[in-house]
Amino acid sequence: KESLAAAADALHKRGVPVVILTLGSNGAFVSSPDFTGLIPAPNVRAVDTTAAGDVFNGALANALWQGLAMKDAVTLAVKSASYSVTRAGALNSAPTVDELRAFSNELRQ
């Protein structure tokens, strides 16, 4: 975690206000004015990681556009990307809102 914070600090010193480092199955590290910390990924069986980054970025952009706080937005993006790797292909792996809601409910149980 210290090396992640150091990498984020180096970017902050160059003028980047928000740093999000994606870590695959380990989730994402966030360093922002609102939140700094690790968002863990749920444990899933990965089938195809082709679109995980695209799904993460799309979910993050949508969550921020809807006004979610940074921690909540990245948490949603991590869950979305985690769900996407459980399916084969790129387009077919992006979860719908209902699929993501069901996946989140499964994780709570």
pLDDT tens by residue, 8-39: 999 999 999 999 999 999 999 999 999 999 99
Largest pairwise CA distance in the chain:
42
9 included as an active-site residue: no
Predicted local confidence at residue 108, as pLDDT = 73
Q: How much is the pLDDT for 42?
A: 95
Low-confidence ranges of the chain (pLDDT < 50): none
How far apart (Å, rounded) are the C-alpha atoms in residues 31 and 87?
30
Beta-carbon contacts of residue 43 (< 8 Å; ≥ 6 apart): 25
58/47 Cα distance (integer angstroms): 20
pTM: 0.90
Residue 93 DSSP label: G
10 Å CB burial of residue 99 (0-12, 13-18, 19+) is middle
| Residue 18 confidence (pLDDT) | 97
Give the Cα separation of 45 and 62 in Å (integer).
Answer: 25
Annotated active-site residue in 9, 34, 54, 72: 54
CA-to-CA distance for 49 and 39, rounded, in angstroms? 19
